[in-house]
Amino acid sequence: MVIRSLTFLRHEAGQHSAGYFEAVCAAGKIESQELFIDPVAYLALRQKFAPKRIGAFVPAVPLVLSPASPTLPELALNFLAATARWITAGFPIVHRAQFDQRVAVCKTCPEWLGDALVPRCRKCGCTALKPWLATEKCPLQKW
Protein backbone atom coordinates (compact mmCIF):
# COMPACT_ATOMS: atom_id res chain seq x y z
CA MET A 1 0.00 0.00 0.00
CA VAL A 2 1.30 3.45 -0.93
CA ILE A 3 0.48 6.30 1.44
CA ARG A 4 0.60 9.88 0.17
CA SER A 5 -0.48 13.09 1.87
CA LEU A 6 -3.10 15.09 -0.01
CA THR A 7 -0.72 18.08 0.09
CA PHE A 8 1.93 16.03 -1.71
CA LEU A 9 -0.62 14.83 -4.28
CA ARG A 10 -1.83 18.38 -4.97
CA HIS A 11 1.79 19.42 -5.56
CA GLU A 12 2.40 16.37 -7.73
CA ALA A 13 -0.77 17.10 -9.74
CA GLY A 14 0.89 20.26 -11.03
CA GLN A 15 3.40 18.07 -12.87
CA HIS A 16 0.76 15.82 -14.48
CA SER A 17 -2.04 16.37 -16.98
CA ALA A 18 -5.52 17.52 -15.94
CA GLY A 19 -7.59 15.08 -13.91
CA TYR A 20 -4.63 13.38 -12.21
CA PHE A 21 -5.45 14.42 -8.64
CA GLU A 22 -9.11 13.42 -8.95
CA ALA A 23 -8.28 10.06 -10.55
CA VAL A 24 -5.68 9.15 -7.92
CA CYS A 25 -8.02 10.12 -5.07
CA ALA A 26 -10.85 8.09 -6.62
CA ALA A 27 -8.62 5.01 -6.91
CA GLY A 28 -7.61 5.03 -3.26
CA LYS A 29 -9.03 5.62 0.20
CA ILE A 30 -8.62 8.94 2.01
CA GLU A 31 -8.17 8.98 5.79
CA SER A 32 -6.92 11.92 7.85
CA GLN A 33 -5.61 13.90 4.87
CA GLU A 34 -3.69 10.86 3.55
CA LEU A 35 -4.44 8.70 0.55
CA PHE A 36 -3.96 4.93 0.75
CA ILE A 37 -3.63 3.42 -2.73
CA ASP A 38 -2.48 0.17 -4.30
CA PRO A 39 1.05 0.67 -5.73
CA VAL A 40 0.14 -0.83 -9.12
CA ALA A 41 -2.88 1.47 -9.47
CA TYR A 42 -0.81 4.49 -8.37
CA LEU A 43 1.92 3.76 -10.91
CA ALA A 44 -0.63 3.18 -13.68
CA LEU A 45 -2.27 6.55 -12.98
CA ARG A 46 1.11 8.33 -12.86
CA GLN A 47 1.90 6.90 -16.28
CA LYS A 48 -1.58 7.60 -17.68
CA PHE A 49 -1.45 11.26 -16.64
CA ALA A 50 2.27 11.79 -17.36
CA PRO A 51 3.02 15.14 -18.98
CA LYS A 52 3.79 15.20 -22.68
CA ARG A 53 7.51 15.92 -23.21
CA ILE A 54 7.84 16.46 -26.93
CA GLY A 55 9.49 19.86 -26.95
CA ALA A 56 8.91 23.19 -28.66
CA PHE A 57 8.92 22.09 -32.29
CA VAL A 58 6.39 19.99 -34.20
CA PRO A 59 8.07 17.69 -36.73
CA ALA A 60 6.63 17.25 -40.22
CA VAL A 61 6.78 13.47 -39.75
CA PRO A 62 5.49 12.16 -36.41
CA LEU A 63 8.24 10.96 -34.13
CA VAL A 64 8.06 7.65 -32.33
CA LEU A 65 9.20 8.55 -28.86
CA SER A 66 10.38 5.93 -26.41
CA PRO A 67 9.11 6.66 -22.91
CA ALA A 68 11.59 7.98 -20.41
CA SER A 69 13.20 5.59 -17.98
CA PRO A 70 11.22 5.13 -14.78
CA THR A 71 11.84 7.73 -12.08
CA LEU A 72 13.16 6.67 -8.69
CA PRO A 73 9.66 6.64 -7.12
CA GLU A 74 8.37 4.61 -10.08
CA LEU A 75 11.26 2.16 -9.69
CA ALA A 76 10.36 1.77 -6.03
CA LEU A 77 6.69 1.19 -6.88
CA ASN A 78 7.63 -1.32 -9.61
CA PHE A 79 9.80 -3.17 -7.12
CA LEU A 80 7.13 -3.16 -4.40
CA ALA A 81 4.41 -4.33 -6.79
CA ALA A 82 6.61 -7.13 -8.18
CA THR A 83 7.59 -8.20 -4.67
CA ALA A 84 3.95 -8.21 -3.56
CA ARG A 85 2.95 -10.40 -6.53
CA TRP A 86 5.86 -12.75 -5.82
CA ILE A 87 5.04 -13.06 -2.11
CA THR A 88 1.33 -13.52 -2.79
CA ALA A 89 2.11 -16.35 -5.22
CA GLY A 90 4.28 -18.15 -2.65
CA PHE A 91 7.80 -17.06 -3.69
CA PRO A 92 8.01 -19.03 -6.99
CA ILE A 93 11.25 -18.82 -8.98
CA VAL A 94 12.07 -20.10 -12.45
CA HIS A 95 14.51 -22.92 -13.22
CA ARG A 96 18.11 -21.94 -13.98
CA ALA A 97 17.68 -22.69 -17.72
CA GLN A 98 14.68 -20.33 -17.97
CA PHE A 99 16.55 -17.67 -16.00
CA ASP A 100 19.56 -17.96 -18.36
CA GLN A 101 17.25 -17.68 -21.38
CA ARG A 102 15.53 -14.57 -19.95
CA VAL A 103 18.85 -12.88 -19.17
CA ALA A 104 20.18 -13.69 -22.66
CA VAL A 105 17.11 -11.99 -24.16
CA CYS A 106 17.60 -8.95 -21.91
CA LYS A 107 21.27 -8.60 -22.82
CA THR A 108 20.43 -8.43 -26.55
CA CYS A 109 17.57 -5.94 -26.08
CA PRO A 110 18.25 -2.29 -27.06
CA GLU A 111 16.52 -1.20 -23.81
CA TRP A 112 19.11 -3.04 -21.67
CA LEU A 113 21.64 -0.68 -20.08
CA GLY A 114 24.42 -3.21 -19.62
CA ASP A 115 27.16 -0.61 -19.16
CA ALA A 116 25.34 1.29 -16.40
CA LEU A 117 26.63 1.30 -12.82
CA VAL A 118 23.77 -1.09 -12.05
CA PRO A 119 22.85 -2.89 -15.30
CA ARG A 120 19.10 -2.55 -15.80
CA CYS A 121 16.24 -2.27 -18.27
CA ARG A 122 15.45 1.24 -19.48
CA LYS A 123 11.77 0.28 -19.95
CA CYS A 124 10.86 -1.10 -16.50
CA GLY A 125 14.02 -0.48 -14.49
CA CYS A 126 14.52 -4.13 -13.53
CA THR A 127 17.91 -5.61 -12.79
CA ALA A 128 19.11 -9.20 -13.09
CA LEU A 129 16.82 -10.14 -10.17
CA LYS A 130 13.49 -9.87 -12.03
CA PRO A 131 14.22 -12.78 -14.43
CA TRP A 132 14.34 -15.12 -11.41
CA LEU A 133 10.76 -14.31 -10.39
CA ALA A 134 8.20 -16.67 -11.94
CA THR A 135 5.45 -14.10 -11.37
CA GLU A 136 7.13 -11.47 -13.55
CA LYS A 137 7.36 -10.91 -17.29
CA CYS A 138 9.11 -8.51 -19.63
CA PRO A 139 7.10 -5.32 -20.25
CA LEU A 140 8.09 -5.61 -23.92
CA GLN A 141 6.70 -9.18 -23.96
CA LYS A 142 10.07 -10.67 -24.88
CA TRP A 143 9.81 -13.32 -22.15
Which residues is 3 bridged to in the sheet? 36
Contact 58, 86 (CB under 8 A): no
- Residue 11 confidence (pLDDT) above 90: no
3-state secondary structure of 52: coil
Residue with the bigger pLDDT between 63 and 55: it is 55
C-alpha span between 92 and 70 (Å, rounded):
26
Reported pTM: 0.51
Angle at 49 between CA 48 and CA 55, to 5 degrees: 110
- Picking from 100, 67, 101, 84, the residue whose alpha carbon sits closest to that of residue 136 is 84
C-alpha span between 143 and 136 (Å, rounded):
9
* pLDDT score, position 65: 36
- Residue 97 confidence (pLDDT) above 70: yes
- When the pLDDT of each residue in the chain is averaged and rounded to a whole number, the result is 83
- Residue 69 confidence (pLDDT) above 80: no
